Amino acid sequence: MNFHPTKSYSSAHLQNFIDNHLKNYAYERNYDYGDNNRENISCMSPYISHGVIQEKEIFEQSLKKYPFEIIEKFIQEVLWRSYWKGWLELRPILWKDYLKDLQDLENQKLNNSNYLKAISGNTSIECFNDWVIELKKNHYLHNHTRMWFASIWIFTLKLPWQLGAELFMKYLFDGDPASNTLGWRWVAGLQTIGKHYLASSSNINKYTNNKYRDIPLENHSSAITSDKSYSAEKFNVKNTQLNDVKEIIVFDNYLSVEEDKLCDLNLRKVYLIENDNTHRMIKLDEDVVKFKKDLLIDQANRLKDKNIDYEIIQIDKLKLLNNIQYAYYPTIGENLDFISNNNIENLKFVCRDMDLLAWPYCEKGFFNFKKNIPTVLKSI
């Protein structure tokens, strides 16, 4: 499986999926046929998470081909990422608590033999070992497989969910703080209190097309518990009047800025922010760092094609751009952490229209969010 770091490839890949495989997505999506056969799923998440492909583009192209009723499940799955982002934006302290947990667990990464065996794919569970290899090689796992992986990590191998989430963030091309952290919490039983996900041998066997049998799994574990709870706060970022924006800062979550309405309003220069491992608490695999770098370069080339000036700079140089007022909102994660930790207070954030439309429906569970999907689609 190859993820080419270009907008042109992602657009062509999306169109191929819509034309040839979208119709059967609802029936086929849970099957993991192996890393050489991904035609039953879109594999668009590495591009969505970096904003190379916008949800609006996906929905417009999909709904040209099929009515909403036929592809509703696909649209819901795309919007899970928007939901998780909105849910975390309303509870920012959770991300800070997660990073603190990782600091507290640092010794286990050196001294816990189960952890060391797990991250090297050297456990007694064949499928888990295969998935570790696939994660490190391809920087991608099927969504159903991610659930199995997390369940085995937490309930069979008895490892802290926080370290598993860190492993995913290190290696996944589509890793983002919201989807990754909250997805692992959901499996553990912390996201929906008392409701956890236990992988079963029969389920894995069925949805891997009989590849794995008689898997030694823990099937009777209780949900992980915590004395912490998180209430929704008010999201305070609102788009201001943007007619006077001449220069803007862009992070690696919105790499299709040339399609934004600002480009029709005399935008002169874009600063593309690169955040390598120097300033990250969760150190990314070098292939992931390179993927992000290549996506930035591809974005720069598309800006050049539109005669918009650009500059790729390291995130620590943000402190030198004190004359730049506007930045696309980077969402909760290590880019925003750098801004906060370095007291960079001059920026006015610009949010994507999609996020401003979706996030007000993220205060409660996904079922409530799902009811409002038609409203969101009409608005965009």
Q: What are 159's two structure tokens?
A: 């490892």
Q: Using one digit for the tens of pLDDT, what is the confidence trace for 293-344? A: 999 999 999 999 999 999 999 999 998 988 888 999 999 999 999 999 999 9
pLDDT of the residue at 240: 59
Query: Is residue 226 domain-resident?
Result: no
Query: Is residue 219 domain-resident?
Result: no
Which of residues 151, 186, 207 is at a domain's end?
A: 207
Confidence bin at 239 (pLDDT 50/70/90): low
Residues 151 and 193 in one domain: yes
Query: Is residue 217 domain-resident?
Result: no
- Mean pLDDT (whole number) for 212-235: 93
pLDDT of the residue at 98: 98
Confidence bin at 241 (pLDDT 50/70/90): low
Residues 120 and 153 in one domain: yes
Domain that holds residue 61: 7-89+359-379
Query: Is residue 70 domain-resident?
Result: yes
Query: Is residue 230 domain-resident?
Result: no
- In terms of Cβ atoms closer than 10 Å to its own Cβ (0-12, 13-18, 19+), residue 228 is exposed
Query: Is residue 238 domain-resident?
Result: no
Residues 170 and 146 in one domain: yes
Provide the CATH number for the domain around residue 163: 1.10.579.10
Q: Using one digit for the tens of pLDDT, what is the confidence trace for 256-292? A: 999 887 777 678 899 999 999 999 999 999 999 999 9
Residues 117 and 158 in one domain: yes
- At 351, phi and psi to the nearest 5? -95, 150
Residues 154 and 194 in one domain: yes
Average pLDDT of every residue of the chain: 94
Residues 67 and 120 in one domain: no
Q: Is the pLDDT of residue 230 over 80?
A: yes
Outline where the chain has alpha helix (H). 7-20, 25-28, 45-48, 55-65, 68-89, 93-104, 108-111, 113-119, 126-138, 143-151, 161-171, 177-188, 201-207, 286-305, 334-341, 353-358, 366-371, 373-379
Provide the CATH number for the domain around residue 369: 1.25.40.80
Provide the CATH number for the domain around residue 274: 3.40.50.620
Residues 78 and 129 in one domain: no
Dihedral angle, C-alpha 11, 13, 14, 16, nearest 10 °: 120
pLDDT of the residue at 339: 96
Q: What is the pTM of this model?
A: 0.96
- What Å distances lie between residue 282 and 117, 172, 373, CA to CA? 20, 12, 33
- Mean pLDDT (whole number) for 246-255: 95
- At 230, phi and psi to the nearest 5? -130, 115
Residues 82 and 59 in one domain: yes
CA distance 159 to 148: 14
Query: Is residue 252 domain-resident?
Result: yes
Residues 81 and 120 in one domain: no
pLDDT of the residue at 238: 67
Number of domains in the chain: 3
Residues 117 and 203 in one domain: yes
Q: Using one digit for the tens of pLDDT, what is the confidence trace for 25-69? A: 999 999 999 999 999 999 999 999 999 999 999 999 999 999 999
Residues 251 and 333 in one domain: yes
Query: Is residue 197 domain-resident?
Result: yes
- Mean pLDDT (whole number) for 146-163: 98
Residues 110 and 197 in one domain: yes
